Structure 1
Amino acid sequence: MNIKQLEKASATYYTGSPIMTDAEFDAAIAELRQNDPDHPFLKRIGAPTPGTVKAKHQIPMGSLANANNEKELKTWILRCELAIPHSTSALCLSHKLDGSSLELIYENGSFVQAITRGDGEEGEDVTKNVLLSRNVPLSVNPSITSVRCECLIHKKDWAEHFGGDANPRNSAAGTLRRHDGKNAQYLRFYAFDMMVNGDVPNSETTRMLVLAKWFNVPNNLFVSSNEKAYLPEHTQLGYTINWCKEQETKRDNFPYEIDGVVVKIDNREISEQLGITDNRPKGQIAVKFEPRGGETILNNVVWQVGHTGEITPVGKVNPVGVGGVTVRSANLYNTDEIERLGIRIGDTVEVVRAGDVIPKVTKLVCSSTDGVEIKPPKKCPECGSKTEKDGVRLYCQNRWCGGRSFARVMTWIKKRNILHIGEGLVESAAIDETRQLYVLSYADWARVKVGNGVWGKKRASSVVAALEKSKNVTLADFLGSIGIPGIGRTLTRQLCDSLDDRPNSQLTLSDMFQLLPSLIMKQAGFGESRANDFCNWLKEYREEISDLALFMNFEEEVKMESDNRQFDGEVICFTGKSPRPRVEMSQLAESAGASVSSSVSSKTTILVIADVESQSKKAVKAREMGVRLMSPEDFLDFCGI
């Protein structure tokens, strides 16, 4: 029996209309295994039950940075052009599908495995349900080894067959992982990237055309221009924005859900030269659509304590559908925002999902005659300590507040991307300090009481594995994950890079405890406030940080070109007002590789000015000399501030 007959027999078996008996199929498989034991078909028919086996990706599956408005899209283009001139002269635009990312593996042109995105490094093997769907090609060009796609359910199928589910995305994710394969026939797969052996298409548009021979692909468009992409009047930028707006107005007409547009530099080689930050390629960005809102009643306001001690109000609302998700809580940010909105408990309000993710209250729709004023707490809701207001923010001043400690634990879990551990499990395990995550044994996790039962051995095994993985960390990532106010991993990497200039020794946590704000300001271009926050936090929580560090396996930082070298070789002149003191702006420029001049000259390459449309003498002179004009906000964005 040839392989084509086996392919057909396998496909008809999964659709419920087999063309041969189980015995005949087993005999044919045994014959193939004897004659060609390494044939990829044998791997496919032996696929495990979805959700039971983990599998590693051939290449890490990262995500994309977002642009939530035109300004952020323009900033992305500016950043690309500053790094590599004319890099955005050709762009590939495509729908950002609202589904679950998946990798399809092919060997010698034959489909062998499907893996969910998971944590980006490994995911779940869902090969059987992908086969049941009948919506992926079992054979492709032998040069294709891996295809990245989005798994989704068409809106029509969802409405007819998935009553009660919140949205098509959730239905697709759940169906993909079902053990019984129910409703797998409604899964659809849209390809958007691939790996091949031999010559690789260097154009994103060409890749999409190649993929379209075998797969569904999302709507896409190629945009090209010979103009300088960083100029305000750049027609390509305008065309890109217009196409994004057009797709947003038409989104209800497409068979699938979309929540934005993916914009890629078409030249793959140039895109890869720009590099990656936090598993996000710099040569690509997701332009997000305006969030959709819903009207509901504000029933209550609860006050939550964060890891810095800030107390924020969260509105509890009647369940309302927003963008396919049922929302019950919405962010109110601070007391000034509550006053600005003019809302009271009992009022009808509008709720949107910012970036289609985080629900927030955006406006008052209708006032209630029985509305109750929202009053900020005078005492911390967690520890009872007196609260104090600093600007628009409300704080608990007790540094050992249980709410603050709990929030620091959750910050670490989020920053280190530790899977399988949520707030409920942390509360049930009575964890109030981050190091306790690593103190608990496998048996301890298995015995944690959850609901009417316990967490159990299987889930405890997943938790322990995730925690073990999180122990491998660089010093910079460790410092950027412990919750220092206003300081994340990008800034701690910049700091460590600027300090670690010793050829035969490695920077240690002990070194960081000895730092003074003045040295940080000098070496890394940190402002005074941020430098003080960094040093004070390490001093205040030194014991807690040191205890946590004992469980870590510190790795040496892989030396790469730092994000803060965005201005290598540039000569920058600052003029007019800016959000930061002039001396700090100059320090940031110098730490990013630039020289600073006090006036516009023939050597000046960038003028940072409050109003880029200004007609001042300095601005006019700069334009005449071909100098780029940049706002202070864009400058700070380039610096990662």
Structure 2
Amino acid sequence: MSSAHQQIEALREELRHHEHLYYVLDAPTWEDWQYDEAMNRLKALEAEHPELVTPDSPTQRVGGKPKEGFAKVAHSRPMLSLDNAYNADELRAWAERVQAGLAAGEKAGYVCELKLDGLSLAVNYVPGSGGEAVLSTGITRGDGSIGEDVTTNVRTIRSVPLHISAKKLKEAGLPQSFEVRGEVVLPQKAFAKMNEERVAAGMAPAANPRNAAAGTIRTLEPNIVAQRRLEYFSYFLLRDGESFIAEQSEALASLRTAGFLVNKQTRSAKTIDEVLKFIDDADAVRDSLPYDIDGVVIKVDSIAQQRRLGFTGKAPRWAIAYKFPARAANTVLEDVLFQVGRTGKITPVAALKPVFIGGTTVARATLHNADEIARLGVKIGDTVAVERGGDVIPKITHVVSAAPHGRSVEFPQICPICESPLVKEESEVDWRCVNESCPARIAGAMLHWSSRGVMNIEGLGESMVAQLLGQALESITEDDAELESEAVSETGEPVQVREPLVTTIADLYDPAKVNVAKLVELERVGEKTAQALVDEIERSKQRGLARVLMGLGIRFVGERTAQLLAQHFGDVSALIAASREELEAVNEVGPKVAEAIAEFFAVDRNAELVARLRELGVDMTAEKREIGTKFAGLTFVLTGTLPTMTRDDAKALIEAAGGKVSGSVSKKTSYVVAGEEAGSKLEKAQQLGVPVVDEAGLQQLLSE
């Protein structure tokens, strides 16, 4: 090794050591000038010897901006959300479900961690040339299955190691290839500084640190990201998509040893009472922390137990988020606006005098429906209590004081957008616009189609949809703020109304209607933005049948039902041709859902939309799941803990043999599969005379 090489390596190790002391341990031993001096020496040596520059050098944290924006990348395993608990009773009920999923006599231990109010991020490491691990990629959560490659920006976050030495890997018990998941947060001091700079520059301040962090990590200018001083708290370890350390508490210790920033506010607990004590302690120090939190995450400590407990369709059974009580404030109701969603539902929205609640300025709150307005007895001008908890949409809880001359809220009888008469079914509380051509309904349907959990078309947000449809931005609405689309217009000014480029979802895929040349004619759309949107639309063609079914907006067909339908039929043509009896043969599809599906495809306009989407190249197929007939027509109920398989395993076997799995026992139940600690379901089966089998009996039924 040459003298220059030795000097460079020594400086790199010294700088890495002091970065760890400063950014991870919060215990610096150098003054800023000492760090800058060492960094400048390293930069000078690397300039003299460019052949010795490596990607994991401390000088390489800030690089050039991505040339083509952020590429989409699939996660090694889905980044799922967590189920929530809002009080001690709900938390204890979760713990009881955990215990019911474990073997008799087996006890679960827990790890408690603060629920940081930021954005989830996965970082991957690969082997270096000398036994070390080096940062490979940083990927946002995205829709949970596919995120964006934001590696260039992640490299600027000082609490994300670019290089982990072979020595540290050995001490931490880590391989050279692994994945870390965690949360990116913007500390409150950095958030305040950023807002000061925005106001000084004549810009509106950011609403809260979480939104600011999310916007920063997706900025195309790494220099800006570096200046924001984001922090990355690590809390999860994977290799090839699987946990590989025996306990979550041990994984956190390994991350600390390897040089990652792990939140100090973590605690192991043997009982739920100990968990509740941690929650009380966290709530007490919440306002003194340098970053925002909105609750506590509780995980089963044992990875082996986590595997046995498994997952539901959307969340792990072995973890839960305890949300802190909602924060509230009083303000004045200045007006009530009426939004039209993609289904035609009319949602009243309270326009409030802006008030700061729990880290966010709140100017809007949902009023749900006409019945809720009547229940509250609220009038325009009243002082009202507004509550916001976690990710919950702000809501008015009650009237604090009535205005002397308050104005009554008049619920409209015609659509506020298209002026068609509104309709209310006797069995429903909502008023709806039933005009299929209502501009707001079309816009809402397009926003739903493009949202992350559906076709995931980046860039097709409110402003772009408004322009494509020739509408003013203010006419675009969403269903109860459920969508994750982002408004492009920062000024809030309505875009210029013009002739529409599209009138249906299918038009998005028609190159004669949506192309770069036509998009650049829109307001604030350059060639690069136009090309990126065209590319996104083209990529969305390959999302598959399940996503298409979600995007069509069929009543009662959510993510889980869409997946089951796609796996069962394999092609949209087979689904359209299915009778109601054939639809009900799909697991978890009952008469109500089957009727909604049949009615949807019986409408000519819907059938024509599907046909045109297919004609324009949108993939409407899925890998068909082969279903046996051995259990055809049979319904099973699972209860208790089985000796060698999880309930998910048993459910998969039953469904693969053509059977259905129900959550409750009735006279129509064919078999109850009972394990250890079976409860009331077993008792009810015995009362009704329903046959009961154990795991071995289930296997025997399968083999007969």
Match of 2:564 in 1: 494
Match of 1:329 in 2: 364
Q: 1:352 Cα shift?
A: 2.7
Distance 1:247 1:492 in 2: 39
1:311 to 308, 325, 346: 346
Distance 1:284 1:50 in 2: 37
Match of 1:433 in 2: 504
Give runs of aligned pairs for residues 393-408 of structure 1, distance below 5 A.
393-408=430-445
Distance 1:299 1:157, change over 3 A: same
Distance 1:161 1:183, change over 3 A: farther
Task: Establish whether residue 98 from structure 1 lines up as the match of residue 117 from structure 2.
Answer: yes
- 1:481-514 CA deviation, whole Å, 9 max, x = no partner? 31112220212333455x44xxxxxx32122222
Distance 2:314 2:354 in 1: 35
Task: Establish whether residue 533 from structure 1 lines up as the match of residue 596 from structure 2.
Answer: yes
Q: Secondary structure at the match of 1:370?
A: coil
Match of 1:200 in 2: 244
Task: Establish whether residue 592 from structure 1 lines up as the match of residue 661 from structure 2.
Answer: yes
Give, as a single letter, the amino acid of the residue that structure 2 aligns with 1:112. L
Q: 1:320 Cα shift?
A: 2.0
2:184 to 131, 148, 151: 151
Match of 1:474 in 2: 544
- 1:84-112 CA deviation, whole Å, 9 max, x = no partner? 54787122221111123334444443543
Distance 1:83 1:351, change over 3 A: same
Q: 1:318 Cα shift?
A: 1.9
Give, as a single letter, the amino acid of the residue that structure 1 aligns with 2:150. D
Match of 1:54 in 2: 70
Task: Establish whether residue 512 from structure 1 lines up as the match of residue 575 from structure 2.
Answer: yes
Give yes or no for contact 1:320–1:326 (8 Å, CA) kept in 2. Answer: yes
Give yes or no for contact 1:291–1:356 (8 Å, CA) kept in 2. Answer: no
Give yes or no for contact 1:486–1:530 (8 Å, CA) kept in 2. Answer: yes
Give runs of aligned pairs for residues 336-485 of structure 1, distance below 5 A.
336-390=371-425, 391-414=428-451, 415-430=454-469, 431-439=502-510, 440-444=513-517, 446-450=519-523, 454-485=524-555
Distance 2:225 2:62 in 1: 17
Structure 1 window deviating more from structure 2 (539-548 vs 10-19): it is 10-19
Q: Secondary structure at the match of 2:395?
A: strand
Match of 1:191 in 2: 234
Give, as a single letter, the amino acid of the residue that structure 2 aligns with 1:313. P
Q: Secondary structure at the match of 2:379?
A: coil
Give yes or no for contact 2:639–2:681 (8 Å, CA) kept in 1. Answer: no
Give runs of aligned pairs for residues 126-205 of structure 1, distance below 5 A.
126-127=151-152, 130-131=155-156, 133=158, 136=161, 138-140=163-165, 141-142=168-169, 143-145=175-177, 146-159=179-192, 162-163=195-196, 164-176=205-217, 177=219, 178-181=221-224, 184=227, 186-195=229-238, 200-205=244-249
Match of 2:481 in 1: none
Distance 1:408 1:72, change over 3 A: farther
Give yes or no for contact 1:134–1:185 (8 Å, CA) kept in 2. Answer: no
C-alpha RMSD over aligned residues? 4.0
- 1:200-251 CA deviation, whole Å, 9 max, x = no partner? 3121110011112223212222233xxxxxxxxxxx3444345334423431
Give yes or no for contact 2:333–2:384 (8 Å, CA) kept in 1. Answer: yes
Structure 2 unaligned spans of 5+: 20-31, 170-174, 197-204, 470-501, 628-634, 641-654, 693-704
Distance 1:306 1:160 in 2: 38
Match of 1:552 in 2: 618
Distance 2:34 2:459 in 1: 32
**Which has the larger strand fraction?**
1
Distance 1:547 1:23, change over 3 A: same
Give yes or no for contact 1:129–1:184 (8 Å, CA) kept in 2. Answer: no
Distance 1:78 1:286, change over 3 A: same
Distance 2:507 2:588 in 1: 35
Distance 2:457 2:12 in 1: 42
- 1:169-228 CA deviation, whole Å, 9 max, x = no partner? 34444555454347637433221123459993121110011112223212222233xxxx
Give yes or no for contact 1:136–1:189 (8 Å, CA) kept in 2. Answer: no
Give yes or no for contact 1:406–1:432 (8 Å, CA) kept in 2. Answer: no
Give, as a single letter, the amino acid of the residue that structure 1 aligns with 2:70. K
Q: Secondary structure at the match of 1:349?
A: strand
Distance 1:277 1:441, change over 3 A: farther
Distance 1:130 1:100, change over 3 A: farther
Task: Establish whether residue 69 from structure 1 lines up as the match of residue 94 from structure 2.
Answer: no
1:212 to 249, 256, 268: 256
Give, as a single letter, the amino acid of the residue that structure 2 aligns with 1:27. E
Distance 1:316 1:150 in 2: 32
- 1:321-343 CA deviation, whole Å, 9 max, x = no partner? 22222222211110001111111
Q: 1:443 Cα shift?
A: 0.9
Distance 1:21 1:608, change over 3 A: closer
Distance 1:559 1:308 in 2: 31
Structure 1 window deviating more from structure 2 (441-450 vs 250-259): it is 441-450
Distance 1:403 1:167, change over 3 A: closer
Overall identity of the aligned pairs, in %? 25
Give yes or no for contact 1:428–1:448 (8 Å, CA) kept in 2. Answer: no
Distance 1:67 1:357 in 2: 11
Distance 2:239 2:588 in 1: 43
Q: 1:427 Cα shift?
A: 0.9
Distance 1:250 1:325 in 2: 19
Structure 1 window deviating more from structure 2 (72-81 vs 421-430): it is 72-81
Distance 1:599 1:536, change over 3 A: closer
Match of 2:140 in 1: 117
TM-score, normalisation: structure 2 = 0.70
Distance 1:117 1:534, change over 3 A: same
Give yes or no for contact 1:299–1:317 (8 Å, CA) kept in 2. Answer: yes
Number of equivalent positions? 568
Give, as a single letter, the amino acid of the residue that structure 2 aligns with 1:54. F
TM-score, normalisation: structure 1 = 0.77
Task: Establish whether residue 26 from structure 1 lines up as the match of residue 47 from structure 2.
Answer: yes
Match of 2:269 in 1: 223
Give yes or no for contact 1:68–1:289 (8 Å, CA) kept in 2. Answer: no
Q: 1:316 Cα shift?
A: 1.5
- 1:406-433 CA deviation, whole Å, 9 max, x = no partner? 2221221223332222122101111442
Give yes or no for contact 2:139–2:149 (8 Å, CA) kept in 1. Answer: yes
